[in-house]
Copies of this chain bind each other. A is one copy, B any other.
Amino acid sequence: MISQKAKYALRALAALARARDGEPMLISEIASRQNIPKKFLEQILLDLKHHGLVLSRRGKAGGYTLLKPADQITFGEVLRIIDGPIAPLPCLSQTAYRRCEDCDSEATCEIRHVFARVAEATRQVLFSSTIADTLSIPQSIESD
């Protein structure tokens, strides 16, 4: 299961991708549109900003905008920022490799092979899916 935080992050980016060109979007607007606790969303957006996915402006007429085109932000990179490694075992992570403490050796680990295939399959989907893909989902009509 991915975390609630990761879901919020992806949905927030999806909301930004729908924003009219270049117009910054308020945290509070994203929060209400996407049903995300505002103060929690602040943290998430800040995190995404620190990782170069979005850009912010303070003060009046401030808000957030995407820093990269939506089709260049993959689900995989967002999940890595928010939830950490994609791999199901630490010894299979590309970005945060760690030896399994209790494992004698990776060559003789009986379960590593299977999970390597899981990791590969998962990455295949996550890094070929982008925020742009969320734009094709019809949104419920809401009075403006």
Contacts and interface: CB of A to CB of B under 8 A. Distances in A.
Interface of A: 1-2, 4, 7-8, 10-11, 14, 34-36, 75, 84-85, 87-90, 100, 102-105, 107-111, 113-115, 117-118, 121-122, 124-126, 129, 133-134, 137-140
A118 B114 contact: no
A87 B140 contact: no
A139 B108 contact: yes
A118 B126 contact: yes
Contacts of A10: 110-111
Given A1-B89, A85-B1, A140-B105, A125 B133 contact: no
A109 to B, nearest CB: 7
Contacts of A125: 114, 117-118, 121
B110 A134 contact: yes
A129 B85 CA distance: 23
Nearest to A93: B1
Nearest to A34: B102
A7 to B, nearest CB: 7
Contacts of A111: 7, 10-11, 14, 75, 134
